[in-house]
Chain A
Amino acid sequence: MAVVAYIEINDGIIKKGSLEAASFAAKLAQEKGIKAVAVVVGKGGDTSILGKYGIAEALHYNVEDTQINSLSVAQILHAEAQSLGATDTVFSGSWIAKAAAASLAVHAQMGIVTEVTELPKNGTILKKAFSNKAFVKVELQNPKNCYVISANSFGLHENQVNISVQEKNYSTSSVLSHVSFNKDTSKVSLTDAELVVSAGRGLKAPENWHLVEELAKVLGAGTACSKPVSDAGWRPHHEHVGQTGISISPNLYIAIGISGAIQHLAGVSSSKNIVAINSDPEAPFFKAADYGIVGDAFDILPKLTEALRKAKA
């Protein structure tokens, strides 16, 4: 018997969401008195880092990025979950992880709970609902379950152990074939970002975005935008945060020129700290923020960037 964590390697790096899954699995295994095993899929990467989060055993499938998709990962996980006798399987909230979790739940007849924020307790587990507007405690109906963690809600828990890594082979038979990638790995991925700088229509035009990017660069932050900005084509769709975009929970979210409509707040309200900068003192965002500045973004942003540069120097 084992608690299994699915760990992704993208471009040679184990992402934060996967480390969170490792932490969750290690803690759950400890409570159950069984072992935690990481099933790692991806090329290269320093798998031994998982030992820092309480994982003593890892199986590494050295699979090329072009071979990784929802179907191939699901095949690997299903086979390993069976041979390890997985009682619980833990996933990050990434798209591939969700796909693999759903597929495993079907094939291994396990239960599945998504948007999980805490370890299960006495047959119940807490999860987010209504796009971050609420939580719901659910009673698990299946003795074996897949848990998909809501990003940055469980957190990383260090507990260094010795780790043994076994290299495994996988030959693909997926009916989904890779055609091409269009990636920019120089930027901070939004769901993994600890800090996010986001702007809305208050910035007036796409050519003003350099102000946001400069601030983000000084902070090492990801950049995001509101729905109207993405709808207008000022910024790409994948930067749209909110109820119908992506949901994020960074440690710091800076909202510039975003009024704070309920749909936008749904996607960002679980951020640990929120700063709102808006020229309208009545903007609803000030009710959801921890820190607020009323004023002109074009005046404040360069000053803030400069002040942060000095503070970080």
Chain B
Amino acid sequence: MKILVCISSVPDTTTKISFVNDNKEFNSAGVQFIINPYDEFGLTKALKIKEQLGGTVTVIHVGPASNEPIIRKALAIGADSAVRIDGEAVDGLMVAHEIANYVKNNPFDLIFTGRESIDYNGGIMPHALSAILNIPAVSPCVGLEISGSEAHLETFVDGGKEKLKTALPVIVGSQKGLVEESDLIIPNMRGIMLSRTKPLEVFTVQNSVNNQKVAQYELPPAKKACKMIDAGNVEELVSLLQNEAKVI
């Protein structure tokens, strides 16, 4: 089983977001960058499948050399090799095209992505990749089993879940449920040492699509002070919701 895991570099979930350069740039000073949490569920599932069925796990990342720590972390967690496309990840459409260029020359049986990245939350990358490569995508995916050359997958639909099946290859938009939080692997010293010698190939970015350009960021307006209500007077809350907020 040849498995590819697409990973994105995102600000840690606890990051307080701010901007610099007249609000034209994200302020990365002091920000810890991590593997996008959704991608990490995919990486963990990929390693589990490798354990069961054998094969290789390759991670791919579109980003500059300064993002290599997250690639090394993925290798320390257990991926066998890595590919970096050297360029800024502009948006999901651009990243999908860059990764597709690599996959066209290096086919895989299973491709994991996150269901979305936690910085821009588009959720379109797995489906754009699917359209470019003409490989079906299931995202968000909360269950995956491989039997022979078939994949059985579970996704969310309105009001619940749907089970689907398809022949490999398939693209899986990962999230919790595919594996559990407790399955995530913290790299040990041996893994970290090994990660330094595992192969990391670098390719030049193609930049074949031009979709959108950031003009300016803004922060949401500040909240007004919270109106405190006495615990013994829930009727007041009901009245405020009816007459002031007018939501019930």
Identify the A interface with B (CB < 8 A).
8, 10-11, 15, 69-71, 74, 94-96, 98-103, 105-107, 111-115, 124, 128-142, 148, 174-185, 187, 189, 194-195, 219, 230-231, 237-238, 240, 243-244, 247, 251-252, 261-263, 266, 269-270, 272-273, 275-276, 286-296, 299-300, 303-304, 307-308, 311-312
Contacts and interface: CB of A to CB of B under 8 A. Distances in A.
B167 to A, nearest CB: 7
Contact of B161 (A137, A176, A181, A307): A181
Given A244-B176, A307-B238, A10 B14 contact: no
20 contacts: A102-B130, A112-B93, A115-B121, A128-B121, A133-B219, A135-B220, A138-B214, A139-B214, A141-B213, A176-B136, A176-B138, A181-B157, A183-B159, A244-B13, A244-B38, A244-B175, A273-B247, A275-B241, A292-B226, A307-B234
Given A105-B124, A262-B13, A287-B223, A293 B234 contact: yes
Contacts of A96: 157
Chain B CB within 10 Å, residue with most, of A106, A187, A195 = A106
Interface of B: 11, 13-17, 19, 37-38, 92-93, 96, 118-128, 130-132, 136-140, 142, 152, 155-167, 175-177, 180-181, 210-220, 223-224, 226-231, 234-235, 237-242, 245, 247-248
Contacts of B92: 102, 112, 114
A224 to B, nearest CB: 14
A114 B214 CA distance: 13
A46 B126 CA distance: 32
B93 to A, nearest CB: 6
Nearest to B132: A106
A-side interface mostly: mixed
A180 B247 CA distance: 37
A237 B118 CA distance: 17
B60 to A, nearest CB: 18
B164 A69 contact: yes
B-side interface mostly: mixed
Contacts of B166: 175-177
B215 A134 contact: no
Contact of B136 (A106, A129, A175, A247): A175
B226 A74 contact: no
